[in-house]
Amino acid sequence: MSKQLWNKGFQPNDIIEAFTVGQDRELDLRLARYDVQGSIAHIKMLTSIGLLTQEELDILLPALQQIADEIERGEFVIEDGVEDVHSQVEFLLTARLGDVGKKIHSGRSRNDQVLVDLKLFFRDELKNIAHAVDRLFRRLQQLSEQHKDKLMPGYTHLQVAMPSSFGLWFGAYAEALTDDMQLVKAAYNIANQNPLGSAAGYGSSFPLDREMTTTLLGFENPHYNVVAAQMSRGKTERALAVAVAAVASTLGRFAMDVCMWMCNNFGFIKFPDELTTGSSIMPHKKNPDVFEIMRGKCNRLQAVPNELTILTANLPLGYNRDLQLMKDIVFPATTELIDCLDTADFMLQHIEVKDHILDDSRYDYIFTVEDVNRLVLEGVPFRDAYRQVGMAVQKGEYKPTREVHHTHLGSIGNPANDRVAEKMDKLMEGFN
């Protein structure tokens, strides 16, 4: 038995209902608490403009609060035959309170209702992402400081190039995350605007007080133009997806490095046995499956902006039901990103780093530039010093001094982690 809010006396076809509802009954559960929050703000506003009486508000508010409590306790479900979270909340209210429950939808459409739910949800989700990024950032910075003096090979073209350090390696990914955080913040700012009052996408003839709901819901400002507000469905998701993809690209690249440094031929880092995985045939294997799965997931997350772009490309102005399908793509994506970030943070608590890697003669040539520079400091012109060391290498006579003195800002001896932390602190202020 279907119970559509839009029921006009005919029974919709079951196949059509199942096809159009799709995954909403499950996905919308994540919007439930925000739907109630939005409704509370909306009915307070309706009361202020005389569309509900104070008595009606006093009946509705505790009933909505009760639904909010049920949601937090995990007791809220979207019943079979009910299309979505918006319908379920209204049905519950009407079932419990009678006619007054039917009044809350004045001046509203499910189009701005789902929009406001999504904005509130994305705000929280972006905050969760920001905090997960920040945790991984702090971990990387701590490891950078802890292993500041441990040298490792730097590669270009994946050929041994110049001395690097674990301090630089960990610290580099930390700083890369500050750039990603700019995009997280930008997506947050886009989400932090109130669409409520745009109704179906063209406003309402009621004198809705949109400033009031903006304040009640803690948005930075209204999405003023009602058509722009409706257009923000899609735009917000795409901004969020770009932020997710940016973080994923940094983390995915880090996961690749970890797999490579764990490879027996490098052997720069290890993890305790219980954090590695084995093979069903080769008894000796300790595989980096965690970081391979992470790399794969992060690669997949980088496809999300593209998926959303294609889903929403050239949609005509105003609400279109296609927009519903963005939830199927975006909801799992933010969860997956946070899971990857938390797993990386967990793994890094146990990372073991090899010392004295560069003492191995296979890295002799990594010191050529150091030796060229030392000659330059002794007064030899750079091109002559380069040739002198180059000829020694060519004749097989090069003997490295193995001395590394890098002191400038951002280099091995001075990675400036505190300055990088200042950048992150500033970005995080907006999320605290």
Question: Which residues contribute to the site for ligand ARG (CB under 6 A)?
Answer: 24, 84, 110-111, 114, 319, 321, 323-324
Minimal distance in Å, beta carbon 231 to ligand ARG? Answer: 14
* Residue 110 or 297 having the CB closest to ligand ARG: 110
Indicate if 106 belongs to the active site.
no
* Residue 66 or 320 having the CB closest to ligand ARG: 320
Minimal distance in Å, beta carbon 31 to ligand ARG? Answer: 9
Q: What are phi and psi of 5, to 5 degrees?
A: -60, -25
Distance CA 413, CA 270 (A): 24
Of the listed 157, 284, 356, 408, which one is catalytic? Answer: 157
Structure tokens at 262: 């764990």
Minimal distance in Å, beta carbon 196 to ligand ARG? Answer: 14
* Residue 97 or 323 having the CB closest to ligand ARG: 323
Tell me which residue has its CB nearest to ligand ARG.
324
The phi-psi region of residue 315 (left if phi > 0; otherwise alpha if psi is between -120 and 50; otherwise beta) is beta
Minimal distance in Å, beta carbon 418 to ligand ARG? Answer: 46
Of the listed 144, 165, 249, 279, which one is catalytic? Answer: 279
* Residue 64 or 326 having the CB closest to ligand ARG: 326
Indicate if 408 belongs to the active site.
no
* Residue 112 or 134 having the CB closest to ligand ARG: 112
Active-site residues: which are they? Answer: 157, 279
